[in-house]
Structure 1
Amino acid sequence: MQAEDATPLIPGQTKLVKAKTRRGKRYLESRAPKATEDAKRVLFLYGNQTSQVVKDVLTDLYQLKRLEAQKFTRKNENVRPFESGGETSLEFYCNRNNCPLFVLGSHSKKRPHNIVIGRMFDFHLYDALEMGVEELKAIRDFGAAGTRAQLGNKPCIVFVGEKFESVPAMALAKSLLLDMFRGEPVDKINLAGVDRVVMAVAMDDARLQLRQYSVRFKKSGTRIPRVALMEMGPRIIFSVRRYRLPPSDLQQEAMKQPKLGKKKEKNVASDSLAGKVGRIYMPKQNMDTLGLSKYKGTKRQRRESAREAAEARKQPKVAQLVAEGASTE
Structure 2
Amino acid sequence: MSLRIKTPKTGRAKREVFKRAPKLVETGKKTLICHGTKSSNVLNAVLTEIYHLKKDNAVKYTRKNDKIRPFESGGETSLEFYSLKTDCSIFVFGSHSKKRPDNLVIGRTYDHHIYDLVEVGVENFKSMKSFSYDKKLAPMIGSKPFFAFIGEGFDNIVELKHLKEVLLDLFRGEAVTNLNLAGLDRVYVCTAVSSNKVFFTHCALRLKRSGTIVPRMELVEVGPSMDLVVRRHRLPDESLKKESMRTAPELAKKKEKNVSRDAIQGKIGKIYVPDQKVGDTALPNKAKGVKRERREAKNKSESNKQESKKQKQDSE
Q: TM-score, normalised by structure 1?
A: 0.71
Asked if the contact 1:145–1:214 (Cα under 8 Å) also holds between the matched residues in 2, the reply is: no
Describe how 1:16-55 pairs up with structure 2 within 5 A. 16-55=5-44
The alignment yields a C-alpha RMSD, in angstroms, of: 2.2
Q: Which runs of 5+ in 1 are unaligned?
A: 1-13, 265-329
1:236 aligns to what?
Answer: 226
Query: Is 1:125 matched up with 2:114?
Result: yes
Query: Is 1:136 matched up with 2:125?
Result: yes
Seen in structure 2, the aligned counterparts of structure 1 residues 247 and 137 have a Cα distance that, compared at 3 Å, is same
How many Å separate the matches in 2 of 1:252 and 1:223?
43
How many Å separate the matches in 2 of 1:261 and 1:93?
31
1:106 aligns to what?
Answer: 95
Query: Is 1:195 matched up with 2:178?
Result: no
Q: 2:150 aligns with which of 151, 160, 163?
A: 160
Q: TM-score, normalised by structure 2?
A: 0.74
1:316 aligns to what?
Answer: none
Deviation at 1:217, TM superposition (A): 2.2
Q: 2:163 aligns with which of 173, 194, 199?
A: 173
Counterpart of 1:156, as a letter, is: F
Counterpart of 1:235, as a letter, is: S
1:115 aligns to what?
Answer: 104
Aligned sequence identity (%): 45
Counterpart of 2:228, as a letter, is: F
1:62-82 deviation line (CA, Å, top 9, x unaligned) = 110001001011111111000
Seen in structure 2, the aligned counterparts of structure 1 residues 101 and 24 have a Cα distance that, compared at 3 Å, is same
Seen in structure 2, the aligned counterparts of structure 1 residues 186 and 223 have a Cα distance that, compared at 3 Å, is closer
Seen in structure 2, the aligned counterparts of structure 1 residues 220 and 236 have a Cα distance that, compared at 3 Å, is same
1:78 aligns to what?
Answer: 67
How many Å separate the matches in 2 of 1:71 and 1:40?
14
Deviating 4+ runs (over 6 angstroms): none
How many Å separate the matches in 1 of 2:106 and 2:39?
16
Seen in structure 2, the aligned counterparts of structure 1 residues 138 and 120 have a Cα distance that, compared at 3 Å, is same
1:257 aligns to what?
Answer: 247
How many Å separate the matches in 2 of 1:172 and 1:261?
27
Q: Which runs of 5+ in 2 are unaligned?
A: 255-316
1:309 aligns to what?
Answer: none
Counterpart of 2:139, as a letter, is: A
How many Å separate the matches in 1 of 2:102 and 2:233?
16
How many Å separate the matches in 1 of 2:26 and 2:6?
22
Q: Which has the larger radius of gyration?
A: 1
Aligned residues: 251
How many Å separate the matches in 2 of 1:77 and 1:254?
30
